[in-house]
Chain A
Amino acid sequence: MNTRLVKAQPADVLKDASMIKQKEMMAKHYDRLTDAPQTGAKVASTFVPGNLNELIMCFDLVNNLPEVNAIQSGLRRQSGAYIMEAERAGHSEDVCTYVKSDIGMMLKGNIGPNGKELPKPDVLLLSYTGCFTFLKWFELLREQYKCPTIFLQTPYMADGKVTPNMVQYMVKQLKETVIPTLEEVSGVKFDIDRLREYLKKSAQAEDDLVHILATGKNKPSPIDAYFGGIYYIGPIFGAFRGTDDAIDYYRFLREEVEARMAKGLGPVTPDGQMTEEKYRLVVEGPPNYTSFRQFWKMFYDEGATVVASSYTKVGGTYDYGFRHDPDRPLESLAEYCLGVYTNRSLPMRIDMLSDYINEYEADGLLINSIKSCNSFSAGQLLIMREVEKRTGKPAAFIETDLVDPRYFSAANVKNRLESYFQMVEQKRSGKGAAA
Chain B
Amino acid sequence: MTKQPVSDIVARCEALYDDLSFSAAREWKEAEPGRKVIAYMPVYVPRELIHAAGMMPLGIMGGGDNLEVIHGDAYYQSYICRIPRSTIELGVSGRLDFVDGMLFPSICDVIRNLSGMWKMLFPDTYVKYFDVPQTYVDEIGGTFYTGEMRELLHDLEKIAGREITDDDIRASIEVYNENRRAVNELYALRAREPWKAPGSEAYLVLRAGLLLPVEEHTRLVREYVAAASAEDRPIKDNSRVILTGMFCEQPPLNLIKSLELSGCYIVDDDFVLVSRWLLGDVPTDGDPVHNLSQAFLHRSMSTAAKYEPDQEEKGQFLVRAVRDTGAEGVIFASTSFCDPALLDRPILQNVLKRADIPFIAFKYAENSGQMQPIREQAGTFVDSIKLWSAA
**Which residues does A use to contact B, with CB under 8 Å?**
89-92, 94-96, 99, 128, 131-133, 135-137, 139-140, 142-143, 146, 149, 151, 153, 155-156, 158-159, 163, 165-166, 168-169, 172-173, 176-177, 345-350, 369, 371-372, 374-375, 377-382, 386, 399
Known: A158-B112, A158-B115, A165-B148. A378 touches B80 (CB 8 A): yes
C-alpha gap A224/B350 in the complex (Å): 46
B311 lies within 8 A of chain A by Cβ = yes
Partner of A156, one of B77, B129, B143, B144: B129
- Given the complex, which residues of B lie within 8 Å of A133, measured CB to CB? 109, 339, 343
Q: 1/0 per residue B97-132: CB within 8 Å of A?
A: 000000010111110111111011100000011010
Bound CA–CA A159/B311 (angstroms): 33
Interfacial chain B residues near A173, Cβ < 8 Å: 135, 140
Residue-wise, chain B 160-203 has the 8 Å CB interface mask toward A (1 for contact) of 00000000000000000000000000000000000000000000
Q: Is the pair B305, A132 in contact by a Cβ cutoff of 8 Å?
A: yes
Q: Inside 8 A of B307's CB, which chain A residues have their CB?
A: 128, 135, 139, 151
Can you sample 30 A-B contacts with CB below 8 Å? A89-B346, A91-B343, A95-B343, A128-B307, A131-B109, A132-B108, A132-B112, A135-B134, A136-B304, A146-B311, A151-B309, A153-B141, A155-B131, A158-B131, A169-B133, A169-B141, A172-B140, A173-B135, A346-B113, A346-B117, A349-B116, A369-B77, A374-B110, A374-B113, A378-B80, A378-B109, A378-B110, A379-B75, A379-B113, A379-B116
User: CB distance B137 to A176 under 8 Å?
Assistant: yes
B120 touches A381 (CB 8 A): no
Q: Residue of A at shortest CB range from B146?
A: A165
A172–B145 alpha-carbon span in the complex (Å): 13
B117 near A382 (CB under 8 angstroms)? yes
Is B147 touching A378 in the complex (CB atoms < 8 A)? no
Q: Are B109 and A380 in contact (CB under 8 A)?
A: no
Q: Nearest A residue to B112 by beta-carbon distance?
A: A156
A361 to B252, CA, bound (A): 49
- Mask, B71-91, CB within 8 Å of A = 1, is 000111101100010000000
B344 within 8 A of A: yes
Contacts of B84 in A (CB 8 A): 378
Would A136 and B343 count as touching, CB distance under 8 A?
yes
> Are the CB atoms of B77 and A380 closer together than 8 Å?
yes
CB distance from B329 to the nearest CB of A (A): 17
Q: Which residues of B contact A139 (CB under 8 A)?
A: 307-308, 314, 343-344, 347
A346 to B129 alpha-carbon distance, docked (Å):
12
> Could you tell me if A177 and B137 are in contact, using CB atoms closer than 8 angstroms?
yes
Min CB–CB distance A94 → chain B (angstroms): 5
Decide: A153 near B344, CB < 8 A? Known: A143-B314, A165-B147.
no
The chain A residue with its CB closest to the CB of B108 is A132
Closest to B305 in A: A132
A176: chain B residues at CB < 8 Å are 137, 139-140
Cβ–Cβ contact B343 & A140, under 8 A = yes
Which single residue of chain A is at the shortest CB-CB distance from B338?
A94
- A95/B339 in contact, CB under 8 A: yes
Question: CA separation between A96 and B140, bound complex, in Å?
Answer: 30
**Are B135 and A136 neighbours in the complex by a CB distance under 8 Å?**
no
Nearest 10 A-B pairs (CB), nearest first?
A: A346-B116, A158-B129, A136-B343, A165-B147, A169-B144, A379-B113, A92-B342, A375-B109, A374-B109, A378-B110
Contact A381 B75 (CB under 8 A): yes
Q: Does B325 make an interface contact (CB < 8 A)?
A: no
Interface status of B358 (Cβ within 8 A of chain A):
no
Minimum distance in angstroms from A21 CB to a CB of chain B: 35
B337 interfacial contact with A, CB 8 Å: yes
Question: Is B340 located at the chain interface by the 8 A CB criterion?
Answer: yes
Judged by a CB distance under 8 angstroms, whether B291 is at the interface is no
Residue of A nearest to B147 (CB): A165
Q: For the complex, is B363 an interface residue (Cβ under 8 Å from A)?
A: yes
- With A94-B337, A128-B134, A155-B131 already in contact, the answer to whether A382 and B120 are too (CB < 8 A) is yes
The complex places the Cα of A177 from the Cα of B109 at a distance, in Å, of 25
Query: Is there an interface contact between B75 and A382, defined as CB atoms closer than 8 Å?
Result: yes
Which residues of chain A come closer than 8 Å to B349, judged between CB atoms? 90
Does residue B151 face the partner (Cβ distance < 8 Å to A)?
A: yes
Chain A residues within 8 Å of B104, by CB: 158
Contact assessment for A136 and B151 in the assembled complex, using a CB-CB cutoff below 8 Å = no
B377 within 8 A of A: no
Is B336 at the interface (CB under 8 A from chain A)? yes
Given A347-B119, A347-B120, A375-B109, do A381 and B347 touch, yes or no (CB 8 Å)?
no
Q: Are B134 and A151 in contact (CB under 8 A)?
A: yes
Minimum C-beta distance from B123 to chain A (A): 10
Contact, CB under 8 Å: A374 / B140? no
B345 at the interface (CB under 8 A from A): yes
Complex contacts, A128 vs chain B, CB 8 Å: 134, 307
Instruction: Kindly provide the distance from the CB of A180 to the nearest chain B CB, expressed in whole angstroms.
Output: 12
Partner of B144, one of A143, A155, A348, A371: A155
A378 touches B340 (CB 8 A): no
| Known interface pairs A90-B346, A346-B117; 7 further A-B residue pairs with C-beta atoms within 8 A, sorted by A's residue number | A92-B334, A135-B307, A158-B116, A158-B131, A346-B120, A374-B108, A374-B109
Name the residue of chain A whose CB is nearest to the CB of B150.
A165
**Nearest chain B residue, comparing its CB with the CB of A155:** B131
Contacts of A347 in B (CB 8 A): 116, 119-120
User: How far apart sit A354 and B106, CA to CA, in the bound complex (Å)?
Assistant: 27
| List of A residues within 8 angstroms of B128 by Cβ | 158
